[in-house]
Structures are given as C-alpha cells and as structure tokens.
Amino acid sequence: MADTKNQDAIALLKQDHRTVEELFEQFEQASGDGRKQKIAEQICLELSVHAQIEEEIFYPACEGKVEEDLLQESYVEHDGAKVLIAEIEAGGPDDEYYDAKVKVLSEEIEHHVQEEEKRMEGLFAQAKKAGLDMDALGEQLAARKAELIEQFKLSGIPEPKLTTMNEVSI
Ligand SMILES: [Fe+2]
Ligand SMILES: [Fe+2]
C-alpha cells in the first residue's frame, strides 16, 4: 500500500480516485452476490468519505480561486452520486437494478474525476495554479479521512447530506 503520510492534497485525492476505479473494476468482474455486495459497500464507503472531505475541506479552499461554474458543477455531481450511493446501500444484489445502479454510479464518477483531474483546466489544476497550500490541505484531508472512515465503519454511512438539491416530490 502506498504511503499515505505527508501526501499533498492532490496526491491524496487522486489516490482515492484510483482506489475507487479499481473497486468498480473488481465489481464488474465479481461473481456471486456476497462478493458483489461486499465490493459495492466498499465503493459506497470510499466515495462517501471522499465526497465529504472534498466538500468540507478542499472545495471550500477552492472558493474564489477556481471557476465558480466548475465548482458548482462538482457539488451537483456529488449530490447525484450520493443519491445513488444511498440507493445501493439500501438495496442488495437481488434488487433488479442493483448492478445497473453501480454501473451508472461508476460512469458518473468517471466523468466527475475527469472534471477534477483534467490537465490545465480541471479543478485540481486550477487550484494548483491559484497557489493553494496543498501540503497543509493534504494534512487536513488525511486527518479528516481517517476520522470519517473510523466513524462510518462503526456506525455505517450516514444519510447523505445533499448540498445543492431542492426538495422535490416525484
Ligand atoms: Fe474527487
Ligand atoms: Fe469530487
């Protein structure tokens, strides 16, 4: 396992992205409901922690330093993912749409990760260019991440807090 100590913010967040991509890959190849559910739950945990540390620490630090449109889209994309994560958490592999939900989540995340990592104009590139202190942010992200993993493993992933959504009735 890569050394997670003293990673700068971008290295830490990118490593999270790679972890989740690997898990999605494993899900695609897995057979057996138990195995699939285990991987899906790991995906949900990783993504929930990742989204929360970005929203608590990294995105606020980007405020005013990156294109506002891009930052707002990031929050909206997170909320879309949180809804699917809650759906996947609430269900199981015997649900008719379980695999489809995991697949759509992986596609949404793939798009979102591209927006964050895109060279030159991606969120991370813009934040770096703006001179954010990535070492200090990396420390904060790592500390909060460890705390949340502990907490979520103990008491489960909490109900998603949606940052951008209005109440809708369907
Ligand atoms: Fe991210
Ligand atoms: Fe994100």
Tens of pLDDT along 2-43?
555 689 999 999 999 999 999 999 999 999 989 999 999 999
CA of 14 to the centre of ligand 1 (A): 7
Tens of pLDDT along 62-98?
999 999 999 999 999 999 999 999 999 999 999 999 9
What 3-state class would DSSP assign to 167? Answer: coil
Amino acid letter for position 40: A
Answer yes or no: is pLDDT of 170 > 80: no
pLDDT at residue 45, as a whole number: 96
CA–CA distances in Å: residue 133 to residues 51, 112, 117, 129, 146: 20, 23, 17, 11, 20
Confidence of residue 1 (pLDDT cuts 50, 70, 90): very low
What is the Cα–Cα distance from 110 to 112, expressed in whole angstroms? Answer: 5
CA of 113 to the centre of ligand 2 (A): 7
pLDDT at residue 5, as a whole number: 66
Hey, what are 81's tokens? 């993912």
What 3-state class would DSSP assign to 91? Answer: coil
CA of 75 to the centre of ligand 2 (A): 7
Tens of pLDDT along 115-157?
999 999 999 999 999 999 999 999 999 999 999 999 999 999 9
Q: Which residues contact 82 (CB under 8 A, 6 or more apart)?
A: 48, 51, 160, 161, 162
- The DSSP string of 101-124 is HHHHHHHHHHHHHHHHH-TTTSHH
Q: Would you say the pTM of this structure is higher than 0.85?
A: yes
Confidence of residue 167 (pLDDT cuts 50, 70, 90): confident
CA of 27 to the centre of ligand 1 (A): 20
pLDDT at residue 165, as a whole number: 83
